């Protein structure tokens, strides 16, 4: 009887252990799936901001529209790359003197998604992968008119916390097509240098720019001869709202 009782107890313990193990495996799988679904929802939510911005901008005439990108619980980084000022005809642009790259966050390498603004594009980085959104596609603007000035203004503190919201205010117009000789010099942080280098090489190939690329001493240099540019961002303001 005692042996039977012990066997039953051991059997019950084994059944309980197997049940706990199965429940643990199921719960772990559930958490992993939920994390993936959360990431997909977050990415979709970010993309929706650009879609709504596109639709809103189509209705504006040099007005102002505000989009809000959620940044909780993910850390968000943004950096600003000032574009060259528009001038008639051919132009030489050394962006290291005319403009600068300003880092608004220390989370550039660990961010789940980052907004990187460049003179001719908006770059969306998710999971370390950069996606290039050209302004015409982003804003859905096809008609051409001359932009008098191109200036970027950055508001907010020197860094973004892991709570609150990033508000991006944009006033847009479409600039005439211009032929330029362009030299861009970037000095990104060491942890983002390879990301930028890969992005520049990919875009050089995708757009068939025929640009000369150099990676020396921590600086990335891009030189393009006789290239046609079409920029649309007139004013962009980034501020942190808690």
Task: Read off the pLDDT of residues 59-68 as tens digits, 9 standing for 90 and up.
Answer: 443 333 333 3
| Domain assignment present for 8 | no
Burial of 189 by CB count in 10 Å (0-12 exposed, 13-18 middle, 19+ buried)?
middle
Structure tokens belonging to residue 192: 């983002």
Tell whether pTM > 0.95: no
| Domain assignment present for 148 | yes
| Domain assignment present for 75 | yes
Whether 19 has a pLDDT exceeding 70, the answer reads yes
Structural domain total, the chain: 1
Instruction: Give percent of the chain with pLDDT exceeding 90.
Output: 0
Q: Which long-range contacts (CB under 8 A, 24 or more apart) does 46-53 make?
A: 46/70, 46/113, 46/124, 46/126, 47/124, 50/122, 50/124, 50/133, 50/138, 53/138, 53/139, 53/170
Residue-range definition of the domain harbouring residue 152? 47-241
| Domain assignment present for 41 | no
Residue 190 to residue 109: CA distance in whole angstroms: 9
| Domain assignment present for 207 | yes
């Amino acid at each position: 009887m005692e042996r039977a009782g012990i066997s039953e107890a051991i059997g019950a313990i084994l059944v309980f252990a197997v049940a706990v193990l199965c429940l643990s495996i199921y719960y772990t799988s559930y958490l992993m799936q939920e994390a993936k679904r959360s990431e997909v929802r977050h990415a979709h939510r970010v993309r929706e901001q650009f879609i709504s911005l596109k639709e809103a901008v189509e209705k504006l005439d040099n007005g102002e529209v505000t989009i809000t990108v959620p940044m909780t619980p993910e850390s968000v980084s943004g950096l600003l790359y000032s574009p060259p000022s528009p001038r008639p005809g051919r132009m030489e642009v050394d962006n290291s003197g005319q403009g600068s790259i300003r880092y608004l966050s220390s989370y550039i390498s660990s961010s789940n998604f980052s907004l990187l603004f460049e003179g001719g594009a908006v770059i969306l980085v998710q999971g370390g992968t950069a996606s290039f959104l050209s302004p015409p596609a982003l804003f859905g603007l096809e008609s051409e008119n001359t932009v008098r000035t191109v200036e970027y203004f950055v508001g907010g503190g020197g860094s973004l916390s892991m709570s609150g919201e990033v508000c991006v205010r944009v006033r847009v117009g479409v600039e005439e097509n211009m032929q330029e000789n362009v030299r861009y010099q970037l000095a990104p942080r060491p942890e983002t240098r390879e990301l930028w280098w890969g992005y520049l090489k990919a875009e050089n190939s995708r757009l068939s720019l025929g640009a000369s690329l150099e990676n020396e001493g921590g600086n990335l240099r891009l030189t393009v001869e006789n290239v046609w540019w079409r920029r649309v961002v007139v004013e962009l303001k980034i501020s942190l709202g808690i």
